[in-house]
């Protein structure tokens, strides 16, 4: 699944809508079920803005990660 993206960072809701991901699936990808801590989000192309609680997503990196998950 390949999409064309504008040259900008995206937020969680844009990515969820574009890739048709359910909220529960999104949370399962982000958090370790045993410890409840966040996984290494940079592997998914998700980055925290310094000094905030806001995360942005690099759509190209996320798409690569997403396609790898589909091929497993």
pLDDT in tens, 2-58: 889 999 999 999 999 999 999 999 988 888 878 888 888 999 999 999 999 899 999
The model scores a pTM over 0.75: yes
Select from 48, 52, 50, 55 the least CA-distant residue to 15: 55
- By three-state DSSP, how is residue 55 classified? strand
Q: Is it the case that residue 1 has pLDDT exceeding 80?
A: no
pLDDT band at 69 (very low <50, low <70, confident <90, very high): confident
CA 23 from centre of chain = 12
Q: Which two tokens stand for residue 35?
A: 């410890």
Residues in the chain: 72
Q: End-to-end distance of the chain based on CA atoms, in angstroms?
A: 14
Contacts of 37 (CB under 8 A, 6+ apart): 31
* pLDDT for position 72: 63
């Amino acid at each position: 699944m390949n999409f064309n993206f504008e040259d900008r960072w995206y937020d969680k809701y844009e990515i969820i809508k574009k890739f048709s991901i359910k909220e529960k699936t999104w949370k399962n990808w982000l958090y370790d079920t045993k410890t409840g801590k966040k996984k290494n989000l940079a592997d998914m192309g998700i980055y925290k803005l310094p000094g905030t609680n806001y995360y942005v997503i690099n759509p190209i990196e996320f798409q690569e990660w997403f396609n790898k998950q589909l091929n497993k």
